[in-house]
Amino acid sequence: MTKLLILKGLHEGLYVIDAIAERWADAGTQIIVHYGYENLPEADVVILHVELTRVPQQCAEQLRAYPVVLNRNVLDISKSSFSKILVSSHDTYNGPVIVKTDNNFGGKPEARTVRRTRMVREPQLHSGENGPNWIPYKQPMPSPGLYRS
């Protein structure tokens, strides 16, 4: 049986990948959803699904141990990392522009991470054969309207 690891940031919620993973689990794939970048369990395939603009270096280093990693090289999705069509206050261009922040989703994922690390209550994670910081996959799934993609 193939063991698939979905690697998320420590405080992330449900996304479309979770609904897809439910189908994979029904088809016989062992799914492990791991939160955080420490004590990663063994897996045949890893899907890096971190909502931060820049994946922490610690995470990138740990992924080297896995032979197959989807999004292995997608470590920085800041706008300036892939677009050089940028306008600054010093430019003479005076036409219309689309304003985008350099950070993913206006930096909201990073702000949520900072805010949540200050909270007293942490998510209910388990320890066991897959190591710490994981949840068993067969969890109640919310209605599809609640997924973030």
Tens digit of each residue's pLDDT (9 = 90 or more) over 56-85: 898 899 999 999 999 999 988 887 777 777
pLDDT at 148: 39
Q: Dig out the tokens for 100 from the structure.
A: 């985008």
Q: Which residue has the higher pLDDT, 12 or 47?
A: 47
Distance CA 93, CA 23 (A): 50
Give buried/exposed letters for 92-125 (b at 16+ CB in 10 A, else e). eeeeeeeeeeebbeeeebbebbeeeeeeeeeeee
Contact 77, 21 (CB under 8 A): no
Q: What is the pLDDT of residues 85-129, one digit of tens each?
A: 778 788 898 888 877 776 666 666 666 665 555 543 444 455 555
pLDDT at 12: 78
Whole-structure pTM value: 0.66
